[in-house]
Homo-oligomer: A and B are copies of this chain.
Amino acid sequence: MKSASAGPPTLRHVAQASQVSESTVSKIVNRTKRFSPEVERRVQAAVAELGYTPNPHARSVITGRSRTIGVVVADVLNPHFALLIKGVGSVARARGYTVLLTDSDEDSDLEAELLGTLIPRVDGLIVAPRLEAQVVAQFARLKPLALTARPSDLARRQALGEALTFGVDGFQTGQMIGHYLAQGGHRHVSYLHLAQADDDRLRGLEAALGGQGIRCTVHRSAEPSIEGGLRAATAMLLGEDRPDAVVTYNDLMALGVLAEARKFGFEVPRDFSLVGVDDIPYAALTSPPLTTVRTYSREIGVQLAEALLDRIEGVDRLAPTPPTPQLMVRGSSAPRQYEAAPVGRG
């Protein structure tokens, strides 16, 4: 029975109860040194009796480490990020870390604010950045950072400095979709591009389409969400020159486009093929089910966390190879049957 006292029990209480010094208790609790069975028993008993839990803040003040990592995603509601979070969480837990998770609501100012409050509390951060590379690089000098996405062009400019960047190759993703659509005989592709966050996919797509003389129209949206897709659909589908394929930055946007297209009376894939990115769980459940590129969201989270924790702990392991994106062909896309469809091959 713990006698009346303010707050929770401290090391001192345990030390008094078990008749040893505070440092002995500390060493036993932390398994940092061994003692005689008798003493260990007494201390363990006192710990159990009092319900002692170490104060992690006090610990952090001394060690300078918090065994906590921060995660900043743009939108927890996006299953891509939710899965990434789950991946991070499982690794963190297995390695004895706690996760401080925040949602920037797709707002870069808020993202910066969140990074600022998180940094003094964590040992490292996993970020799905919407912020400009230079700003992110600034933060990367304060604490180890692991970033999703592989911004090849930015990395080339070394703008990201120390940060680990890691994710499925965006260029390759775009390219896969481009090749697939080209081989399906499509002639006019519209891409729904996420403003300021997504150049690689677009470049990959254009690279694959360009060689085949296929037209690629780019539409922009700032919202990589269902609503973003809904809102962009009008402009993409109701113009005079309707595309025979629509590709979106992610699956959520594709779902929005699909819903809105149905409202306008379009039928997919009869009127146009629709391709998303991520393969979120809902993608397989729509009708028609969505053709998409699987980006292995959970796995990316796992690899980011492993890499970050290795870095934090000074482990010098080889960086893992990111998964290869995989095209999941489903019912929302179909080959075009024009008079003489030129079938491209690579």
Residues of A within 8 A of B (CB): 7-8, 53-58, 60-61, 64, 66, 68, 76-77, 79, 82-83, 85-86, 89, 93, 98-103, 105, 110, 116-121, 142, 226, 255, 258-259, 262, 281-282, 284-287
Contact = CB atoms under 8 A, between A and B. Distances in A.
Given A226-B285, A281-B226, A86 B105 contact: yes
Contact of A120 (B53, B79, B89): B53
Contacts of A57: 56-58, 60-61, 66, 121
Contacts of A259: 284-285
Given A64-B7, A77-B79, A255-B282, A103 B85 contact: yes
How would you classify the secondary structure of chain A's contact residues: helix, strand, loop or mixed?
A: helix
Contacts of A7: 64
11 contacts: A7-B64, A8-B142, A56-B57, A57-B57, A57-B60, A76-B85, A77-B82, A89-B103, A98-B100, A99-B100, A259-B285
Contacts of A118: 98
Contacts of A54: 120
Given A8-B142, A77-B86, 16 more contacts: A7-B64, A55-B61, A56-B121, A57-B57, A57-B61, A76-B86, A86-B103, A89-B102, A99-B100, A100-B101, A101-B102, A226-B281, A226-B285, A255-B282, A258-B285, A282-B282
B98 A121 contact: yes
A120 B55 contact: yes
Nearest to A252: B281
Contacts of A53: 116, 119-120
A73 to B, nearest CB: 10
A57 B142 CA distance: 17
Contacts of A56: 57, 120-121
Nearest to A284: B259
Contacts of A83: 77
Most chain B CB inside 10 Å of its own CB: which residue of A7, A64, A66, A121: A121
